[in-house]
């Protein structure tokens, strides 16, 4: 079949990979030049440990507390926006223990599926993308966070995700080259990491060689819909017809769905990252500074720091105060690491697509027969990319999907 994928991030590229393997003719329509985006500068973490959705008890009170600190890891830009108000109301409704309990099994299955496909890709693809299974360290410095993370570790172990609570000495033994200053941490040995820009750039070339068509710098302006089916996709480069259309447009997916008169609540969650080059004594295991919500990933001799979640709409401005919050946190956890505030041009930013219940939208539309969604993965897009791509190919082929998709029903807020 002729399949259009609107969006060329890791979700779109992964979908293209598995659809091409299944013998379909794939076209990726991407509004940018594919030289940037969320899939390039993120922390590169593959995290089956992350089974609790963003919409969870405590997030509302934490978010309100953080909002008044210009260097904090979370911020919602106050603005008169009906979409933001509706999104916020749904987030509030879903920040419950009941929602978390229902979501955990679904997120776990999707995460483990995706990790299994990463393992396969590391063997099958004819290029290296820095896949390593060294686990993840969740580092904390306060008694409050220690208590919260101990509860998370219990939940993880109860659901078959191995979590070990470690003392400062045990953490230091895992990181012999870098001094670590913490009260303790939780180690998830089943997590992995990659070098995201290596995967994305080489995967684009690989897909082109396999016959995937890329329409870059091309904007989807409208759809022609007749009798409950997309007959054509209208773009800035002309009109195109396809058998199946997949929305994988990240933070722009809500706007894309609105062209089809479908409600897909989505907010862009801006994040920043910067990298230190030629590190002589690098950390060995990716870590997250829990109090600061900063992710730290070794990528060869490079060390990447990433963090913040700014709900600011589709906005590409850079808040240096938020970046300063990331920089200031580094010597608190790694006291021998003195890092200067990077220049604006050295800072990468990306817009993560956040659904109000913290779960992605994956599945076929009930309103338009040849429309499929693969979006809304918030900060987990890279981690869940291959698993989502495999599921999309199964949906297109009309096969039984590898996991149940009930929790990810795309039009659940319609």
Note whether 306 and 273 are within 8 A (CB): yes
Residue 414 lies in a domain: no
- Rounded CA separation 213/26 (Å): 6
- Rounded CA separation 155/306 (Å): 26
The CA distances from residue 220 to 190, 215, 248, 285, in Å, are 39, 11, 12, 41
Residue 276 lies in a domain: yes
Supply the pLDDT for residue 78: 80
3 state DSSP class of 273: strand
Query: Quick one: average pLDDT of 80-99?
Result: 93
Supply the pLDDT for residue 360: 98
For residue 70, give the CATH number of its domain: 3.50.50.60
Supply the pLDDT for residue 407: 98
Supply the pLDDT for residue 68: 76
Residue 147 has pLDDT above 90, yes or no: yes
Sign of CA dihedral 100, 391, 31, 43: positive
Indicate the average pLDDT of the chain: 95
Start-end of H helices in 125-158: 143-158
Tokens of 318: 């850079």
Residue 120 lies in a domain: yes
Long-range CB pairs of 211-214, under 8 A, 24+ apart, other chains included: 211/20, 211/25, 211/26, 212/16, 212/20, 212/26, 212/27, 212/28, 213/26, 213/27, 213/28, 214/8, 214/27, 214/28, 214/30, 214/34
- Using pLDDT thresholds of 50, 70 and 90, give the confidence band for residue 314: confident
Residue 413 lies in a domain: no
Dump pLDDT digits (tens) for 266-309. 999 999 999 999 999 999 999 999 999 999 999 999 999 999 99
Start-end of H helices in 266-339: 320-333
Q: Which residue has the tokens 């939780």?
A: 186
Report strand pairing: 220-226 vs 229-235: antiparallel
- Rounded CA separation 38/41 (Å): 6
308 phi, psi to nearest 5 deg? 75, 150
Sign of CA dihedral 213, 214, 219, 220: positive
Tokens of 278: 């030629």
- Rounded CA separation 96/199 (Å): 36
Supply the pLDDT for residue 70: 78
**200-204, 211-215, 315-319: lowest mean pLDDT where?**
315-319
Residue 306 lies in a domain: yes
Residue 31 has pLDDT above 90, yes or no: yes
Sign of CA dihedral 154, 156, 158, 163: negative
- Rounded CA separation 7/14 (Å): 11
405 phi, psi to nearest 5 deg? -110, 10
Strand partners, 76: 311
Dump pLDDT digits (tens) for 106-136. 999 999 999 999 999 999 999 999 999 999 9
Closest CA to 350 of 252, 259, 256: 252
Tokens of 84: 């933001």
Tokens of 177: 């080259």
- Using pLDDT thresholds of 50, 70 and 90, give the confidence band for residue 64: confident
- How many domains does the chain divide into? 1
- Rounded CA separation 207/34 (Å): 13
Residue 199 lies in a domain: yes
Residue 37 has pLDDT above 80, yes or no: no
Tokens of 288: 């997250």
Residue range(s) defining the domain that contains residue 178: 2-408
3 state DSSP class of 77: coil
- Rounded CA separation 402/390 (Å): 8
Supply the pLDDT for residue 401: 98
Tokens of 123: 């063997």
- Rounded CA separation 339/347 (Å): 14
Dump pLDDT digits (tens) for 252-268. 999 999 999 999 999 99
Query: Quick one: average pLDDT of 197-201?
Result: 96
**29-43, 186-200, 294-308: lowest mean pLDDT where?**
29-43
Residue 122 lies in a domain: yes
3 state DSSP class of 277: coil
Residue 69 has pLDDT above 90, yes or no: no
Supply the pLDDT for residue 291: 95
Dump pLDDT digits (tens) for 357-407. 999 999 999 999 999 999 999 999 999 999 999 999 999 999 999 999 999
**7-21, 60-74, 88-102, 349-363: lowest mean pLDDT where?**
60-74
Strand partners, 184: 140
Supply the pLDDT for residue 40: 83
Residue 5 has pLDDT above 90, yes or no: yes
Supply the pLDDT for residue 318: 93
- Put simply, whether the predicted model's pTM sits higher than 0.85 gets the answer yes
Q: How many CA atoms lie within 13 A of 13 on its CB side?
A: 25
Q: Strands of 243-388 (E only): list them.
A: 244-247, 267-276, 287-289, 294-299, 302-311, 348-354, 361-364, 371-375
Residue 142 lies in a domain: yes
Query: Quick one: average pLDDT of 82-108?
Result: 95
């Amino acid at each position: 079949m002729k399949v259009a994928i609107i969006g060329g991030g890791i979700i779109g590229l992964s979908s293209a990979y598995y659809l091409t393997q299944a013998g379909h003719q794939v076209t990726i329509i991407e509004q940018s030049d594919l030289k940037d985006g969320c899939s390039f500068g993120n922390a590169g973490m593959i995290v089956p440990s992350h089974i609790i959705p963003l919409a969870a008890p405590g997030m509302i009170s934490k978010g309100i507390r953080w909002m008044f600190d210009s260097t904090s890891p979370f911020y919602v830009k106050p603005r008169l926006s009906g979409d933001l108000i509706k999104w916020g109301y749904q987030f509030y409704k879903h920040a419950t223990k009941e929602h978390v309990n229902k979501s955990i099994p679904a997120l776990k299955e999707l995460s483990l599926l995706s990790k299994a496909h990463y393992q396969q890709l590391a063997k099958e693809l004819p290029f290296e993308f820095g896949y390593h299974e060294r686990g993840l360290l969740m580092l904390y410095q306060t008694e409050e966070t220690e208590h919260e993370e101990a509860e998370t570790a219990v939940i993880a172990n109860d659901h078959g995700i191995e979590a070990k609570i470690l003392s400062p000495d045990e953490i230091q033994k895992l990181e012999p080259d870098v001094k670590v200053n913490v009260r303790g941490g939780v180690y998830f040995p089943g997590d992995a990491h990659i070098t995201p820009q290596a995967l994305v750039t080489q995967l684009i070339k690989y897909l082109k060689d396999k016959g995937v068509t890329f329409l870059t710098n091309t904007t989807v302006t409208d759809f022609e819909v007749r009798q409950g089916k997309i007959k054509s996709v209208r773009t800035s480069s002309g009109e195109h017809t396809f058998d199946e259309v997949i929305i994988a447009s990240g933070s722009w997916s809500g706007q894309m769905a609105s062209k089809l008169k479908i409600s897909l609540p989505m907010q862009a969650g801006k994040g920043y990252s910067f990298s230190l080059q030629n590190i002589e004594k690098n950390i060995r295991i990716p870590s997250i500074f829990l109090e600061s919500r900063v992710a730290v990933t070794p990528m060869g001799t490079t060390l990447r720091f990433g963090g913040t979640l700014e709900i600011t709409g589709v906005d590409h401005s850079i808040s240096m105060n938020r970046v300063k919050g990331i920089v200031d946190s580094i010597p608190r956890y790694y006291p021998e690491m003195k890092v200067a505030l990077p220049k604006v041009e050295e800072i990468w930013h990306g817009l993560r697509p956040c659904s109000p219940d913290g779960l992605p939208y994956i599945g076929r539309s009930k309103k338009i027969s040849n429309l499929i969604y693969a979006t809304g993965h918030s900060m987990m897009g890279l981690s869940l990319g291959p698993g989502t791509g495999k599921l999309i190919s199964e949906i297109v082929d009309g096969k039984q999907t590898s996991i149940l998709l009930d929790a990810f029903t795309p039009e659940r807020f319609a």
